[in-house]
Structure 1
Amino acid sequence: MARPRFLPDNMTLLLLAVVVTASLLPCTGQVAEVFDGLTTFMIGLLFFMHGAKLSREAVVAGFTHWKLHVTVLLCTFALFPLVGLAFKPLLTPFITPELYLGLLFLCVLPSTVQSSIAFTSVARGNVPAAICAASASNLLGIFLTPLLVGALVVAHEGAGHSSLDSILKIVYQLLLPFVAGQIARPWIGRWIERNKSWLKFVDQSSILLVVYVAFSEAVVQGLWHQVPMSMLVALLVINAVLLALIMALTTYGSRRLGFSKEDEITIVFCGSKKSLASGVPMAKVLFSSGAIGMVLLPVMLFHQLQLMVCAVLAARYGARQEEVEAAVASESGGD
């Protein structure tokens, strides 16, 4: 039986369970150090397996539709951050500076891969272009996200932030394992394809471990005293407004630029999504352990919200496309 559209997915339920566990039983001392080292290893393994899984042929073939890919990248790494900065005067009365920093971090993350492609497919959009756009977003995000984090932290706090150090950390903790996976793809690529459950396990396990360690540290430092329920509700509303605005801009913007309906679908789903799978390991690299919990709260809320909204929107797009095709077939039959 299919899961109702507005119920949380399994990963979200696991994340909630981990946050509750960290709130009640936070890890501290040597246990926290062991878990921290384990998460570093798991994240490296995750990016290695993603590198081995990614088909270079599919990415190269997809780059022929350059106008669409540039549009998606501008939505992901320019439109989102500009909206996040523009929101600052409206948001500061409702959320803490740390949560606003998390919102800025959300705005500079790359797009999702699996869910962007899946929703584009359900909506009957341009799937090959979605594969390329989402993959390119994740690859470029390894470099662009730390650069943008540095720039936005300067704009937010008025203090310097070493984006060079962040890029170096990203390179040896994320990029090098990814490149190693690409190099190893001729030998292990088929095994990875046959055992996708391993990649899913490593993916989810690394995210859950980082979230547990991050929230344990945050809880010890008084996270839930700083973030009452009213502020969580405000943050959820802010995420909803942000998602609605970006989806509206990508929808009408793609139409004004003359894209086809299939390309519009691809731009909407790839340009409005933000990757939890990339955001969690990047947060671990870019922020201090005490700040990660607050930074990840907006990302986790946005993750579930985008899944629910995109599930409904993809179904509506798909039904509309089927109606159009049925009408065209009926007219052809009448001739």
Structure 2
Amino acid sequence: MLKDDILLKLEKNPGRLITGGGLAKELSVSRTAVWKAINTLKFEGYAIESLKNKGYRLNQNNDVLSEYLIKSALTTNFLGNTFEILETVDSTNQYLKKMNFLLIDEGYIVLANEQTAGKGRRGRIFCSPKKEGIYLSLFLKPTFPISDLHFLTLGIAVAVAKAVEKVCGFRPQVKWVNDLYYNYKKICGILTEATLSTENNAIDGVVIGVGINTGTVNKNVATIATSVEEITGKKGFRNHLVSEILNYFEVIYELLQSRVNKGKEYILNEYKKRLFLVRHQVWIIDNKMEYLVTVLDIDKEGSLVVRNDKNEVIHLRTGEISLKLEGVKDE
């Protein structure tokens, strides 16, 4: 379509003016057709400036998800080689899980501008307002043991944290096991879901979902959540953030695949640097029981090491408990 061709020209020259006449000549259409296509793009949310007798330019803070902009910043071998950008979906994880894993390549990515039934851990809803976040799911076919599967969750948390640090300029912290926080408010949630073979209990495929608040936070969760825009005062991070998350995570994932122990060691070192629960008291919620403990560390298998009120040291495994930081509201 003409509007897609024009958008690609503008995306390749962010912040630079391109004349309507130049676009019309290059694309073999009338200037009126260019003008109509530009207006359609503006209506779709693209931040395009029109300057009389000078031309058009795409604002560098444009925040509409773009395949070209994402792929142009990728340094990956396979992550993001194929992906879809959806306007609205119930859940990007559910969308991917409905696919035939035998027919899609490892590294397949699904992005959406809105989720109507975004998923969190333990059946919770992840609030996913339209164009106010990154809602991303990726598909993997890991070959390492099932017992190490939870390192994918730790690894993607590290990748997201590193990407935010690089692109947005602030340092989020990790709340064990799968949330990123800034100033005691949640900014990102991660959900890892594996499908196992019924024949040999091997991993058929893994879908990892990442939800990052980038724009305005829903008023219903404003007391416990924050966003990139609230922290930085700026928009325009979504495409670059997606690219860097994939860049960082592929390095981590390939290390896990080729040298699993080395990969685990790297993930734990980077994860510990960003863990903000150490020396805090937290509420452990295990089934219907709640008890207060002090966080000591993360062990070599990614378990949370805590001390209870009987001075007993306990190692808590991923997926068995929820955490509620003492003095801080939790989602």
Same fold (TM over 0.5): no
TM-score when normalising by structure 1: 0.23
Larger of the two Rg values belongs to structure = 2
Point out the structure with the larger helix share.
1
